[in-house]
Amino acid sequence: MEQKTFQDYYPEDVSHCYGCGKDNKHGLQIKSYWDGEETYAIFNPKPYHTATKGYVYGGLIASLIDCHGTGTASAAMYKKEGREMDTKPTLRFVTASLHIDFLKPTPIGTPLEIRGKTEEITDRKVVVTETVSAKGKVCAKGKVVAVLMPKNML
């Protein structure tokens, strides 16, 4: 059985994010999974997602870290509460802060692997650290501080 992605569980009204909404036809449609205690996503940049020739544009890397981070936060909070991701109330997160260190140019034309780790989890906040790798080499590191989405955004 194919594992469902975190984003498959997002209710329809929060499935239009350009980064990770499965219902945003123009978007990146990032898909995140558990892998043991860590999470991961694989993303194939389009040929036009360039910075300079041959390298991936930093804003895309920021987007991958951002959306995989909030996805990881959501999955981690459900896990903490001992609930499945399709149960109510819905736990969706927004980014309070995002930090990225670009360690080396990220080559384009190869799948990128984004891996996330939950560093801290409280009642309404999750801190996720991430790496973005190409061909097994870490090209960027990121940190997302995610907070539960305000009710007026849900």
**CB of 90: closest distance to its own copies in angstroms?**
12
CB of 65 within 8 A of CB of 130? yes
**CB of 98: closest distance to its own copies in angstroms?**
5
Q: Which tokens belong to 100?
A: 């990225």
Beta-strand pair 32-35/112-121: unpaired
Residue 125 as a binder of its own copies (CB under 8 A): the answer is no
Helix (H, G, I), strand (E, B) or coil at 79: helix
Question: In this structure, which amino acid lies at residue 114?
Answer: I
Residue 82 vs residues 75, 77, 113: alpha-carbon distances, Å: 10, 9, 27
**CB of 58: closest distance to its own copies in angstroms?**
5
Residue 51 as a binder of its own copies (CB under 8 A): the answer is yes
Of the pair 75, 108, the CB lying nearest its own copies is at 108
Count Cα atoms within 13 angstroms, Cβ side, for 58. Answer: 10
φ/ψ of residue 142, rounded to 5: -140, 160
**CB of 2: closest distance to its own copies in angstroms?**
26
Residue 33 as a binder of its own copies (CB under 8 A): the answer is no
- Residues in region 59-118 near its own copies by CB under 8 A: 59-60, 62-64, 66-67, 94-102, 105
> Where does this chain bind its own copies (CB under 8 A)?
13-14, 16-19, 21, 24-28, 46, 48-53, 55, 57-60, 62-64, 66-67, 94-102, 105, 149-150, 153-154
